[in-house]
Amino acid sequence: MASTVEVPKQHKACMYDKPGAVSIKVEMIDTPEPGPGEVLIHLTHSGVCHSDYGIMMDSWKSLPYPTAPGQIGGHEGVGTIAKLGPGAELAGVKVGDRVGVKWVSRICGSCLACLEGYDGVCFNQAVSGYYTPGTFQQYVLGPANYVTPIPDSLSSPEAAPMLCAGVTTYAALKRSGAQAGQWVIIAGAGGGLGHIACQLGARGMGFRMIGIDTASKRELVLSSGAEHFVDLGAHADDAALTAEVLRLTGGLGAAAVLVCTASNRAYAQAMGFLRFGGTLVCVGMPEGALTPIATAFPNTMCAKMLTITSVAVGNRQEASAVLEFAARGVVKTHLRVEKMEALAGVFGEMAEGKLMGRVVLDLS
């Protein structure tokens, strides 16, 4: 592999030109130089996540700062290293290596959270696509010791969703504490995270999966390994929905529920799906005003010994593990590839709840 490749002085990037609206501007920007310990990555693909939509719309009230005009979004980027900064070779990378950029694009490696393996809550982290240039562009900088190697047998479009949707749901399934053979429910099972969670749970971890979503997602959910599909629209109210879940699980409920949709109502419904000792795992982040989980009553939680936990994103080991699952064919993202100029339209589909699986941008 060549030690150097030609790098253009400028490249294309998708910017949020009007945060708070679905508005994308594609512009030519200067290509940066990698600093000490950094690599310059020539990106070829980037997944599109609901988190990108939330940041563009400036609708996550939990974020510390409003999204700035000109922000380049994206956090599921795959490409090849085009240039090494001083000392980057010490991380064991070289020009031409194919690597990925995740939601947490940089950690300090020395705070207590990092030392205990909680990359997602590093006290000094950088988030790709939020006050750090993201992966909806053709070139991006990354720390040489934190980019994720991509298996040779996995295509770049298939690898991209693993860097957020894959690693996050894998970490969430692990954190659920469910055991092989137990029921696990995915709320939002037909979405980008949900259908991957179904596959990982059913085919990679031995869980019995139930997917909950709208009727249009039925085929995708069942083909992703779910034993049962529950149609949200086929039940008169939440009580009827809960009754159906209990019927499917032999009257007990599920050992775990992963809420992979950004819906406060889904969180309120989920508590009723749990069996004794069950765990609700928070994954999807609702937009708008911060709202507590409506049915998380201490009395009920104590009586059934329920647990609520959460996952922001997985760590480096979990990212490598889920890429290996994908390389082995255990999980295969339902995706379609679009050009970067189509990003606004993709966000429009996302806003209307019409998007099934994942969209990956071709950044060429």
DSSP symbols for 140-178: EEEETTTSEEPPTTS-HHHHGGGGTHHHHHHHHHHHT--
Which residue type, as a one-letter code, is found at position 104?
V
* Strands across the sheet containing 10-16: 24-30, 10-16, 71-72
Residue 3: predicted pLDDT: 62
In DSSP notation, 55-84 reads HHTT-BTTSSSPPPTTEE--S-EEEEEEEE
Query: Taking phi first (over 0 means left), then psi (-120 to 50 degrees means alpha), and beta for anything else, what does residue 68 get?
Result: beta
The residues, any chain, with a CB within 8 Å of residue 176's CB and separated by 6 or more, are: 184, 255, 256, 258, 279, 281, 309
Q: What is the mean pLDDT of residues 276-286?
A: 97
Cβ neighbours of residue 161 under 8 Å, at least 6 residues apart?
Answer: 47, 76, 192, 196, 333, 335, 358, 360
Closest by Cα among 198, 258, 256, 201 to 223: 198
What mean pLDDT do residues 310-328 have? 95
pLDDT over 50 (residue 292): yes
Element (H, E) at 293: none
- Of residues 14 and 288, more confidence is placed in 14
Residues 6+ apart with CB under 8 A from 358: 47, 48, 161, 165, 192, 333, 334, 335
Distance CA 165, CA 170 (A): 8
Per residue in 70-114, pLDDT (tens digit) is 999 999 999 999 999 999 999 999 999 999 999 999 999 999 999
For 177, phi then psi, to 5°, come to 75, 5
Structure confidence at residue 312 as a pLDDT band (50, 70, 90): confident
Helices 165-175 and 316-327 pack at an angle, to 10 degrees, of 110
Please say if the pLDDT value at position 1 is more than 60. Answer: no
φ, ψ for residue 141, nearest 5 deg:
-90, 150
86-89 CB contacts, 8 Å cutoff, 24+ apart: 86/35, 86/36, 86/37, 87/36, 87/37, 87/144, 88/34, 88/36, 88/37, 88/38, 88/39, 88/144, 89/144
| Measured distance CA(271)–CA(300) in Å, rounded | 9
Q: What is the pLDDT, as a whole number, of residue 353?
A: 84
Per the CB < 8 A criterion, the answer to whether 334 and 198 are in contact is no
Do residues 263 and 244 touch, judged by C-beta distance below 8 A? no
Q: Are 151 and 324 in contact (CB under 8 A)?
A: yes
Q: What per-residue confidence (pLDDT) applies to 5?
A: 87
For residue 291, the tally of other CB atoms under 10 A from its CB is 12
Read off the pLDDT of residues 128-178 as tens digits, 9 standing for 90 and up. Answer: 999 999 999 999 999 999 999 999 999 999 999 999 999 999 999 999 999
pLDDT averaged over every residue in the chain: 96
